[in-house]
Chains A and B, each alone.
Chain A
Amino acid sequence: MSRLRTSIHASLLLLPAVVLLAAFTHVPAVRTFIGALYTTPRGKRPAVFVGLDNYRQLLDDPVFWQAMANNVWYAALTIPLSVVLALVMALAVDARLPGRAALRMAYFTPTVLPMIAVANIWLFFYTPGYGLLDQVLGLFGLPETNWLGSRDSALYAVIAVAVWKEAGFFMIFYLAALQTIPHDLREAAAIEGASRFTFFRRVTLPLLMPTTLFVLVNAVIGAFRLVDHIVVMTRGGPDNATALLLYYIYEIGFRFWDSAYAATLTTVLLAILAVLAAVQFLFLERRIHYR
């Protein structure tokens, strides 16, 4: 087969994928950067080039800063909590516990539920006064709390939901990795007289590093991408206490129909993801032990 013919074959095979990827990922990403430099067209007024004005507006926008702070705090709590819990769950299910199949199911089930269903379930769980949480706390004589309605607790309430939904998902990857650890290592460690904790710290944990990286990357993307529960549970409230960046983009774009400012916010989100990708490739990849 000649080189030209190979190239033509390859292009035909790639054509549908390239067209679709360009149409819904690359072109919109570029148009986002450009759109952020213009005003939003309204009625008969067309978009006007304003340079960095939208970014100036962004720097002065307290809601943007609030959403950023919320998102960082949300990621900083959700990620370690769900990853550590995932590891604990995987170790528990991997060990020869009685009823481990049922346990694995209990941990994994939230993962198959739609986030909207999860949000509804927890909305009820949190209902002030008669939700299960307040009922249980009531047994200990604690007062009613409006978990989602108070500025102090709303973000934590939302974080709990995200951890509940995601830990079981990450557990699966740890479980897969644990099952590939060769049995001789355990025997060798036992002959050396290593305790279980030493074995875990010196053998299991390093061998799990690639999995941890994979899970971390997914968790970070998830923390910036998944806002379904915010839409249902709090709508970013009370007083923007649970507004995450993507939720704010959604509000600006589809409730205020300010597409230029939404594009500016989206650019920030894209920049965050780009930094993440760079960190993943340049920094973390090197520090991982691949046997």
Chain B
Amino acid sequence: MSIADRPPGPIETIGAWLLGLLWILPLAYAVWTAFHPSAYATRFDLLAPLTLENFVAAWQAAPFGRYLFNTTVIVTMVLAGQFLVCTLAAYAFARYRFPGQSLLFALVLMQLMVMPDILIVENYRTMFALGLVDTLGAVALPYMASAFGIFLLRQTFMTVPKELEEAAIVEGCSSLGVLWRVYVPLARPVFVAYGLVSVSYHWNNFLWPLIVTNSVETRPLTVGLAVFSSTDQGIDWSIISAATLMTAAPLLVAFLIFQRAFVQSFMRAGIR
């Protein structure tokens, strides 16, 4: 075995593990607090009794069920909108030649830098003018046309061999038929990757929903959690930790189950 190839020494192994422990520590601490009575929140005793009462208390203290529903609706709307809008646009950029194409593409790419997250004041005014403030649609709408999605899908569509498209046309497919029957099926892994990245982003999104929602009927989980933990609870860390874990749980559990898919999706979406 060569020098450059030998397995890492004990120092590197220990270092990597210490870093790993340090990294998981804050989360482990929150888990400990959430599953033990408040008396043990800061006292470490391996024999401390486990309890789910903090979760029950949190669930009853705020409408987390409704928040969960809102988040699910928002994430679904964003994803459906992005898939539709970005697929159509990416197809046009990948397979059509028309005047002003490169200028238009540059304008699309601008959104990679100037995201709707930054233009909060103007976007709020737009929503106000449209009468959409405090609706689920207002949370989702600014994100539906995503430069990132258009770019990613365009790159993928460009790798599809022309011969396949020509064969489909000979078979009598229309333009949209070609897109639906040839391009979309071939790009499936990219759709999965983009979908996972998008869902994790919008499940966790906070600032824009905080601004544009102001009632229980529209608030997503993140904003609901912030409202819950910032006010009048008379800081009971056990209950707040339970609420925090509840908010993160759906995505966290999905991540633990589909770890490989998640990691590969983030990799695939990042390499461009």
Binding site for B on A (CB under 8 A): 6-7, 9-11, 13-14, 16-21, 23-29, 31-32, 35, 85, 88-89, 92-93, 95-99, 102-117, 120-122, 124-125, 127, 130-132, 135, 164, 168-169, 172-173, 175-176, 186-187, 189-191, 193-196, 199, 214, 221, 224-225, 227-228, 231-232, 246, 249-250, 253-254, 259, 262-263, 266, 269-270, 273-274, 276-277
Contacts and interface: CB of A to CB of B under 8 A. Distances in A.
Contacts of A19: 145
Given A7-B98, A92-B12, A232-B226, A21 B145 contact: yes
B248 interface: yes
Interface residues of B, number: 95
Nearest to B41: A130
A224 B121 CA distance: 16
B124 to A, nearest CB: 8
Contacts of A105: 256, 259
A112 B244 contact: no
Nearest to B117: A225
Contacts of A266: 118-119, 121-122
B204 A194 contact: no
Contacts of A113: 27, 204, 248, 251-252
Given A21-B108, A172-B267, A225-B117, A109 B225 contact: no
A70 B90 CA distance: 39
23 contacts: A7-B96, A9-B175, A17-B150, A20-B141, A23-B126, A24-B116, A25-B110, A85-B19, A92-B16, A92-B19, A95-B12, A96-B7, A102-B20, A106-B20, A106-B21, A112-B251, A114-B221, A124-B29, A125-B26, A132-B26, A176-B267, A232-B230, A254-B124
Contacts of B251: 112-114
B88 interface: yes
A92 to B, nearest CB: 4
A124 B19 contact: no
Interface in B224-256: 225-226, 229-230, 237, 240-241, 244-245, 247-248, 251-252, 255-256
Given A17-B150, A277-B113, 15 more contacts: A13-B96, A20-B141, A27-B126, A103-B20, A114-B206, A114-B247, A116-B223, A120-B240, A120-B241, A172-B270, A176-B271, A194-B3, A225-B117, A228-B207, A232-B226
Interface of B: 2-5, 7-8, 12-13, 15-17, 19-21, 23-27, 29-30, 33, 41-42, 84-86, 88-89, 91-93, 96-99, 104, 107-108, 110-111, 113-126, 141-142, 144-145, 147, 150, 175, 200, 203-204, 206-207, 210-211, 221-223, 225-226, 229-230, 237, 240-241, 244-245, 247-248, 251-252, 255-256, 259, 262-263, 266-267, 270-272
B116 A25 contact: yes
Contacts of B221: 114
B interface, over-half SS: helix
B157 to A, nearest CB: 12
B241 A124 contact: yes
A126 B235 CA distance: 14
B36 to A, nearest CB: 13
Nearest to B3: A190
Nearest to A8: B98
Nearest to A107: B23
A249 B8 contact: no
B209 to A, nearest CB: 10
Given A168-B23, A270-B118, A121 B263 contact: no
B237 A124 contact: yes
A274 B118 CA distance: 13
Contact of B122 (A32, A106, A231): A32
Contacts of B25: 132
A284 to B, nearest CB: 14
B141 to A, nearest CB: 7
A3 to B, nearest CB: 8
Contact of B16 (A97, A115, A186, A194): A97
B98 A88 contact: no
B86 to A, nearest CB: 7
Contact of B99 (A7, A25, A130, A253): A7
A25 B114 contact: yes
